[in-house]
Amino acid sequence: MALTESRKENGTETAAGPPGGRTVRRLTSPDPAARSRGGQRFVLLGLALASAYSLFPVYWLMIAATKDRVGLYQSNGLWFSDFHLWDNLQQVFTYEDGIFLRWTANSFLYAGVGSLGGTLIALATGYGLARFDFPGRGVVFAAVVGSFLIPIALLTLPLYLMFSKIGLVDTPWAMLIPCLINPFSVYLAKVYTEAAIPFELLEAARIDGAGELRIFFSIVLRMMTTGGATVFLLAFVNTWNAFFLPLTVLRGQENWTLNLGLYNWSGKRLESGIDVTSLVLTGALLSIIPMAIMMVAMRRYWRSGVTMGALK
Amino acid sequence: MIRSQRWKGAAFTVPFQLGFVFLYLLPIGYAVHQSLFLQKQSGLGLGGATTEFVGLENYQQGLTDSAFMTSILRVVLFACVQIPFMLVISLVLALFLDAVTAKVAGRFRIMLLVPYMIPGVVAAIVWINLYSPEVGPLTPLGALFGFDWNFFAPSMVWPAIGNLLTWHGIGYNMVIIYSALQGVPRELFEAARLDGASELRIALSIKVPFVRGALILTALLSIIQMLQIFNEPALFRNISPETVSDSFTPIMIIYNQAFNAANYNYAAALSVLLALILGVASFLFYRLTSREAD
């Protein structure tokens, strides 16, 4: 057996997966000497081509964001022409009294606050489902899993009608409230609790006289930082990327998200004859940045989250 | 476990249960209720509308609505082409990653995951501009090789959207399949190599069957997403309304019925129908793939 090296991701040696060794970490890597050099070259070429395909649109977007109108329409799309990034940025931030900044703040508000609340509720629910055997537990869990199959339109349209009856449509609440209940987060939280919180620990805390609430807030939540961060991150990404819900429940543009604003801008080009292509492209590039920073900074969490959610 | 403790445990799930009732069960119930009624204009349509109970009439209309049924068929056909195509590429890339050293695999994985970090709406905007004959580089690039393609032509809309979805989905699906590959016991490969099996043979006969579960799961998730596809065609419609009609996909029809035609009752019936179709499709797919396994 080729026991060469253990697989480590870019030097992060601390457990990337949830505690308890749920993700199977492989101990051996394939011995490169065992395969033909031609085969290796073919594999590397395939990976390089696929990477080029993955990166090409982002590369083009970065180049396009540095061009003015003339450059966009007339210069070679694959390389820089005159450098107008600062002008474009200024245009994005000042267009319609800086509405872009408003949209950015809204996206952060909905994704940040909504996901924080949703994560807390999900962790409590996941803990309850994973560590207590109460009547109806199966029903709750079945509801969680079953709701994965509900089409978004089936929920969003009646929600819109209900919200409009109580005057919530076109307010931040119309975005925040639905984010609080996220079945996928609950599902992940349950899986993480099962991996991270041993029964014995809970028993020991109870024998020491700690109340259930205290156990949850001062022991369970603290031990669930990895799982909680993953749940939060995935919920944040989900809300940041949401489109159908904000399109339905937000009407006035001062409450819009970045996605909705960019969608509106990209349609404008056609409707009113003004060319806002560079506005849209620079805005699109800017809207990727928070997501990219977040994903890279928290990559050890979301990787485990992506695979956990899929494999359990 | 002590009785009182059980109930305290149940209490942890109460906020979620309440939220679930108000944000899931109640809306669904409301939609079902609404789907049984119809707004009818009285007289000349000036005397205001009255809401009447019509039973399953909306459903009957939905099932014979050729625009709705065509949109479902359109999306299903598209799913049958795009999903296998995307998953085969994801599988091949996962196998490729598995065949190189850990360090190299780590670097490529980051690059291949870049599209996953980009919100769907933004991805669509970027690709639409790449396709654009005015600003995109693909038209001159095609001309260089003698292609004269117009991505907004009616025959090219699905390939254009298909490419966008494939680009967006490859990395995510690859990671899921790749992590399933990590679970294959390495001894199997050693044994196969000793028996003289080639790497290709090992990949096809050991690795692929082993990640079947991951493939089924990614396919199921893709099917659920595809039947509800909305963002990409909506953005294409934004640019090129003449090629992407407002009844292109089921959700687009539902959205239009609700917000442009102000026919909530019919929209509610269509969304219940779509949910049923989604449930049946997922169930059938699951049964079909798990029966093969035994």
pLDDT in tens, B51-94: 888 889 999 999 999 999 999 999 999 999 999 999 999 999 99
CA–CA separation, B239 and B29 (whole Å) = 36
Mutation site for B-interface testing, chosen from A154, A276, A281 by largest number of B Cβ within 10 Å: A154
Quote the mean pLDDT of chain B: 88
pLDDT at A84: 80
Say which of B114, B118, B136 has its CB closest to residue A77.
B136
Contact B112 A157 (CB under 8 A): no
pLDDT tens digits, residue range A151-168?
888 999 999 999 999 999
Q: Say if CB B131 and CB B149 are below 8 A apart.
A: no
Query: What is the pLDDT, as a whole number, of residue B294?
Result: 46
Helix (H) or strand (E) holding B288: helix B264-293
Q: Which residues of B touch A28 (CB under 8 A)?
A: 186
Report the alpha-carbon distance of residue B123 to residue B138 in Å, rounded: 16
Chain B positions touching A35 (Cβ under 8 A) are 99, 199
Of B30, B114, B130, the CB nearest to A158: B30
For B230-259, the DSSP string reads -HHHHHHHHH-TTTS-TTSSHHHHHHHHHH
Q: Give ranges for CATH 1.10.3720.10 in chain A.
A: 99-311
Computed on alpha carbons and rounded to an integer, the radius of gyration of chain B in Å comes to 24
Cβ separation B190–A212 shorter than 8 A: no
Position A13 scores a pLDDT of 36
For residue A208, give how far its alpha carbon lies from the nearest alpha carbon of chain B (Å).
15
Q: What whole-number distance in Å separates Cα of residue A44 and Cα of residue B101?
A: 11
**Res B43: pLDDT:** 57
- What does DSSP assign to residue A249? H
Distance CA B34, CA A154 (A): 12
Ordered domains of chain B (ranges, CATH): 57-293 (1.10.3720.10)
Q: Go through chain A and tell me how many residues it has.
A: 312
Q: Which residues of A touch B119 (CB under 8 A)?
A: 240-241, 259, 287-288, 291
Identity of the residue in B113, B117, B258 whose CB atom sits nearest the CB atom of A291: B117
Q: Please name every residue paired with A67 in a beta bridge, in sequence order, or none if there are none.
A: none
B171 vs A: CB within 8 A: yes
Q: Which residues of A touch B189 (CB under 8 A)?
A: 30
The answer to whether the beta carbons of residues B82 and B223 sit under 8 Å apart is no
Tokens for A118?
């949703």
Residues of B in contact with A27 (CB under 8 A): 186
**In the predicted model, what is the mean pLDDT of residues B107-128?**
91
Asked if the Cβ–Cβ distance from A281 to B129 is below 8 Å, we say yes
pTM of this structure: 0.85
Residue with tokens 């065949």: B99
CA distances from B97 to A100, B112, B189 (A): 40, 11, 16
With residue B37 as reference, give the H or E element that holds it.
strand B37-41
CB-closest option in B1, B13, B264 to A133: B1
Can you list the residues of chain A whose pLDDT is less than 50? Answer: 1-29, 31-34, 311-312
Cβ contact A277–B238 (<8 Å): no
| Per-residue DSSP letter, A26 | P
**Number of residues that make up chain B:** 294
DSSP codes of every residue in B99-136: TS-HHHHHHHHHHHTGGGGS-HHHHHHHHHHHH-TTT-
Average pLDDT estimate for B101-130: 90
Q: Which of residues 57-86 of B touch A (CB under 8 A)?
A: none
Q: Which residues on chain B are in Cβ contact (under 8 Å) with A186?
A: 16
Residue B46 to residue B266: CA distance in whole angstroms = 21
Sign of the C-alpha dihedral computed for residues A155, A157, A162 and A167 taken in this order: positive
Residue of B nearest to A267 (CA): B238
Based on the number of CB atoms within 10 Å of its own CB, is B223 exposed (0-12), middle (13-18) or buried (19 or more)?
Answer: buried
Greater model confidence, B95 or A88 = B95
Contacts of residue B184, defined as CB under 8 A and 6 or more positions apart, other chains included, come to B206, B207, B210, B211
Q: Which long-range contacts (CB under 8 A, 24 or more apart) does A5-13 make?
A: A5/A29, A5/B102, A7/B102, A7/B182, A8/B102, A9/A299, A9/A300, A9/A303, A9/B106, A10/B106, A12/A300
Please state the separation of Cα B291 from the chain's center in Å. Answer: 24
* Surface of B (227-286) touching A: CB under 8 A: 227-228, 230-231, 234-235, 238-239, 241, 251, 254-255, 258-259, 264, 267-268, 271-272, 274-275, 278-279, 282
Q: Answer whether B122 touches A (CB < 8 Å).
A: yes
Note whether B175 contacts A291, CB cutoff 8 Å: no
pLDDT of A305 reads 61
Q: How many CB atoms lie within 10 A of CB B140?
A: 12
Nearest CA in chain A to B233: A263
Decide: B158 and B249 in contact? Cβ < 8 Å: no
The predicted-structure confidence for B204-242, as pLDDT tens digits, reads as follows 888 898 888 889 988 988 998 999 999 999 998 888 888
* Selected residue of A62, A132, A264 to mutate for chain B interface (largest B Cβ count, 10 A): A132
CATH T-level fold of A99-311: MetI-like fold (1.10.3720)
Q: What is the ipTM of this complex?
A: 0.88
What DSSP string describes A36-50? -HHHHHHHHHHHHHH
Contact A110, A176 (CB under 8 A): yes
List alpha helices for chain A, DSSP H: 37-64, 69-74, 85-94, 99-131, 137-146, 152-165, 173-180, 183-196, 199-207, 212-214, 221-223, 225-241, 244-249, 258-271, 277-297, 299-311
Q: Which of B20, B127, B167 sits opposite A143 (nearest CB)?
A: B20
Q: How many CA atoms lie within 13 A of A98 on its CB side?
A: 4
Q: Is the CB of residue B144 less than 8 Å away from at least one CB of chain A?
A: no
- Structural contact between residues B104 and B286, judged by C-beta atoms closer than 8 angstroms: no
Residues of A in contact with B284 (CB under 8 A): none
The average confidence (pLDDT) of chain A is: 82
Beta-carbon pairs below 8 A across chains A and B = 294
Cβ distance B234 to A263 less than 8 Å, yes or no, reads: yes
Give yes or no for a contact between A205 and A215, defined as CB atoms under 8 angstroms apart: yes
Cβ–Cβ below 8 Å for B267 and A2? no
Residue B191 CB partners (closer than 8 Å, separation 6+) = none
Q: For residue B27, give how far its alpha carbon lies from the nearest alpha carbon of chain A (Å).
A: 5
